[in-house]
Structure 1
């Protein structure tokens, strides 16, 4: 099932569903979605219409492992509708913070909207005021300065020096109280970096330090941030990576940073014509998938090219003593998930393939690169154990889409574990009536080497969000614990597990 990248046919043209006016028919999109609500899967794309919610201790089936105590923090776009209009793209909704707390007393859940400047302004006005990634709001700019004007804080939430950071893509991180989910304000790393992009997939190393980047979309620049374990900025370095506006993730090894830049180029002409940011991007296969390897010792670069393809998420990377870097990622021949974000908001979906597990090997001494794809492993949201970031690893966990899934239903129905060295796969099938979200890996506090996989999924039949815990070494055996919330949550994106002290 492993195929070598390079012989696949050219991807179809990238065609966002807009004419060059960028007109947003929010009322029409909302009406279309309402008419499609008879489809069970649309439950995952409804708005969460209350400011906050909490539940628990909730009903639990099975037993919470003794060595697993802490909080699973998650976020994602959840307020899709406002003022009788619906956003055009799934990634535009305001971020809903969540905390699944695992305690001796049981499992509780808390949800609260992140109070960004955008959210507070629009709630007060009762309507949308600023454009989003895939929605042009009349009278607003599609690439404002500062970008925080449209910051929805809806992609990821990660720990940093005793706080949580709610992350977007082209704007600031927002500080969040981990105990209350209160919004504490914008994180400014340095006065001259106020409002600078701080991307949604930082890499926290085993020593507690953190690497991240932020794209300066209009200039083809990428800022690299290095943050200490105490949350202080150590350094910032700027790289030139043209056409990197949609760069979403990266990898860190003991000696290198690795960026995979898709051939999506931001068109100034499309922006000026009124298209939202996402629709103003052009798919340019001639650019290829550009691989930029940066040596952390002297900031020298090596650049490679793979056939045109889209990568949003990387699981992990490591390198051996001979300078050979190995990484895993989810790769597709075009940005299908990005395109589907527009049709999903109207309650429409037809599956035409998605990202697949891909292993990339880069020999920094010989200057060579190899790419192998597991065609049978379609999925997203690859994660590894936090203590293995940048280190040699074997297990990557991801949400998988089975080959039997109804093509008229979006998303994933399985959780899978892949051994990057042996190629073995372990799978738990939730079933056709589920929408499976990102799961993460947590280490047992008492038993060395014991790991747990924890994550949420939406039960469409019962209309409830369910938290599951699995033995990381035996996903196929099913969850050792499931906790059911008394409500359904919109599908989120990413999050982090923070163990109790």
Structure 2
């Protein structure tokens, strides 16, 4: 019998649209398309890649309309085409090409940034795009998933965060870039629907921290600067990008509160050190900000996502806990408390309702020690309770919330997750009623997909706005 390791094997299939057999009953109102993104191939010639984040992007499309239609296709990025010829042309997160010093210098200055856009998808400037942690976004056809071309980005910075925010009231994207060059620091920008992207602030840092996401409120962007930092000098040596960062346990984690309009840093409170990949939500109450995120005790979770560890029978991955940090802008102080102490990751919400506002429900995946993503959580952050869904031999991915049209309750909708059934040795689409947190439909794919990262759902008849950060 297979186990979770099946989800970390290289995949070499592409699937034209096929109707899946659905067991159970899909809601009549569920009509739209779910796009998922994640690694599909972990090899370049005879060489294995090192980290889960390194695999070459495989787009997955699930069309909901009186059934489920599935298709998948590799993103034909420059990086992927070179890899098919046996060449690792660009540095990935945990694996480097065999470069000379001049090659590494060119990479640091932005001339050799990967377009292996395997983290998530977004809709911007009228296009569906795959994105990663560089400014190179890759457009794709929303129907057949064919690659349309690479965009090199319109804001300064050698790196960007794949997790940006959409402000539904202001009708603009807000994103964060990281500059690892001569003027290292964080680049906050906004990209309104009716105009070009513009830089809001450049916060200089000699040793910028690794950031995967950030928080946004009505008036502020909150950058969580944990003590996992690098420098241009360290990026020039032969180690991969992820290994150029160092953890400094004697330093605090700092919240950089940046005014979204003026670009000024208005507060820099610190708390004991922790690491985070994913923010959940943030909101304001008077002179106080509240920032919810998944916190780890240190950076070791980055190393734990190496393929060597994840392909072991009992992978050792640190637990993340859901925390809320209260930032007092007037006093310049911050303090945190635990909202949910069991392991949780890939957190999602009813994004259109929750983003920038107080919310009640957070959904995510969880694991027990020695396992990998073996359950789903629904955390009620107002009442401190949790509901759990799990099934033996099933490994669910990120649960995306899709609201029922005209819903009056925050959890009136469904959750969609793509899971690996190791007993069947196939992946399946799970649809759960979000309010009752019970499975209502399931559809099996013809094969087992590698574990993905993130995605979004675009409802029919609506503007394509994100369903998560």
TM-score between the two structures when normalised by the length of structure 1: 0.84
Residue equivalent to 1:332: 296
Q: Distance in 2 between matches of 1:393 and 1:210?
A: 21
- For residues 400-479 of structure 1, the aligned pairs below 5 Å read 400-401=366-367, 405=368, 407-409=369-371, 411-431=372-392, 433-445=393-405, 447-449=407-409, 450-475=412-437, 478-479=438-439
Match of 2:351 among 382, 386, 401: 386
Q: Do 2:90 and 2:112's aligned partners in 1 also have CA atoms closer than 8 Å?
A: no
Cα deviation for residue 386 of structure 1 reads: 2.3
Q: Does 1:396 align with 2:397?
A: no
State TM-score, norm by structure 2: 0.89
Match of 2:278 among 281, 288, 313: 313
Deviations 1:115-147 (A, max 9, x none): 221112232x23433332111222364561425
Unaligned runs of 5+ in 2: 462-469
The number of aligned residues is 450
Residues 230 and 466 of structure 1: is their aligned pair in 2 closer, same or farther, counting only changes over 3 Å?
farther
In 2, distance between residues paired with 1:465 and 1:445?
Answer: 28
Cα distance in 2, alignment partners of residues 456 and 480 from structure 1: 14
1:110 paired to 2:71: yes
- Where 1:334 maps in the other structure, the secondary structure is coil
Q: Which residue pairs with 1:13 in the alignment? A: none
**Cα deviation 1:180-233 (Å, max 9, x = unaligned):** 22222223554xx48853320011122331111111124431111211225742
Aligned residues: CA RMSD: 2.3
- The CA deviation string for residues 236-270 of structure 1, in whole angstroms up to 9 with x for no partner, is 43222453341110111111111111211215555
Give 1:35-434 correspondences, 5 Å limit. Answer: 40-50=3-13, 52-104=14-66, 106-123=67-84, 125-139=85-99, 141-142=103-104, 144=107, 145-146=109-110, 149-190=113-154, 193=155, 196-207=158-169, 208-218=171-181, 219-230=183-194, 232-267=196-231, 270-301=234-265, 302-320=267-285, 322-344=286-308, 347-348=311-312, 349-351=314-316, 353-374=318-339, 376-387=341-352, 388-401=354-367, 405=368, 407-409=369-371, 411-431=372-392, 433-434=393-394
Deviates more, 1:83-92 or 1:271-280: 271-280
CA distance, structure 1, for counterparts of residue 148 and residue 326 of structure 2 = 41
The DSSP-based 3-state class of the residue aligned with 2:268 is strand
In structure 2, the residue matched to 1:485 is 445
1:7 corresponds to which residue?
A: none
Q: For 1:267 and 1:198, how far apart are their aligned partners in 2? A: 16
Query: Secondary structure in 1 aligned to 2:123?
Result: strand
Counterparts of 1:459 and 1:241 in 2: how far apart (Å)?
Answer: 45
* 8 Å contact from structure 2 (residues 8, 310) kept in 1: no
For residues 169 and 163 of structure 1, the distance between their equivalents in structure 2, rounded to whole angstroms, comes to 19
Distance 1:188 1:136 in 2: 21
Give the secondary-structure state (helix, strand or coil) at the position aligned to 1:479.
strand
Determine if contact 1:188/1:194 at 8 Å carries over to the other structure.
no
Q: In structure 2, do the counterparts of structure 1 residues 138 and 234 end up closer, same or farther at CA, with 3 Å as the change threshold?
A: closer
Aligned-residue offset at 1:64: 0.9
Deviation of the 1:58 alpha carbon = 0.5
Provide the rounded CA distance (Å) in 2 between the counterparts of 1:494 and 1:242. 31
